[in-house]
Structure 1
Amino acid sequence: MYDLTGFQRDLLYVVSGLDNPHGLAIKDELEDYYEKEIHHGRLYPNLDTLVEKGLIEKSQRDRRTNEYTTTRRGSREIEARTEWEAEYIDHDS
């Protein structure tokens, strides 16, 4: 996961946290978080990158809509990242 941008990492987390989300559901979640519009030209190429890296899978829901799921590798990467972050976060604050 070290080679992902922050935006790609956020995409992976959102895909993991939603139940087989489609692109617009992912876009809505990220717009809520970033508090600004996420353009399709940014969203879909980054989703494709995560597919190419084997972190998420893309399947066709219908003729116009794709949905995304986290792969086992993607889940392992999230778990490893969470453990790494926990080493540096002071939980007693």
Structure 2
Amino acid sequence: MYDVTGFQRDLLYIIAGGDEPHGLAIKDELEDYYETEISAGRLYPNLDTLVEKGLVEKGHKDRRTNFYSVTRRGQREIDARADWEAEYVDHPISVNA
């Protein structure tokens, strides 16, 4: 996952956590996380890059709506990233009181 940006990694994580989300659902999740508006001009080229890299597949729900799903390679990259992070960062369970 060394050759994707942090934004693209976040896209990949959102797609992996969804049930074949469409572009606007992904955009909404990102806007909630980043607390700022994400333009289509930023979103869709980055989604296309993930498709080109073989990390994500793009399908069609209808003539106007695409959906996205993580490929096996994409899932392997997510798993490898989680393993790498675990070597350096202890993720204790946090409890909000």
Shorter-chain TM-score bucket reads: over 0.9
Provide the aligned C-alpha RMSD in A.
1.2
The aligned residue for residue 19 of structure 2 is 19
Aligned structure 1 segments of 4 or more residues deviating by more than 3 angstroms = none
Provide the TM-score with structure 1 as the length reference: 0.97
Query: How many Å separate the matches in 2 of 1:42 and 1:24?
Result: 13
Query: How many Å separate the matches in 1 of 2:91 and 2:18?
Result: 26
Give the C-alpha shift of residue 91 in structure 1. 4.2
1:81 aligns with 2:84: no
Q: How many residues align?
A: 93
Gaps of 5+ in 1: none
Query: How many Å separate the matches in 2 of 1:26 and 1:17?
Result: 10
Gaps of 5+ in 2: 93-97
Equivalence map 1:3-82=2 (5 Å): 3-82=3-82
Change (3 A) 1:51 1:91: closer
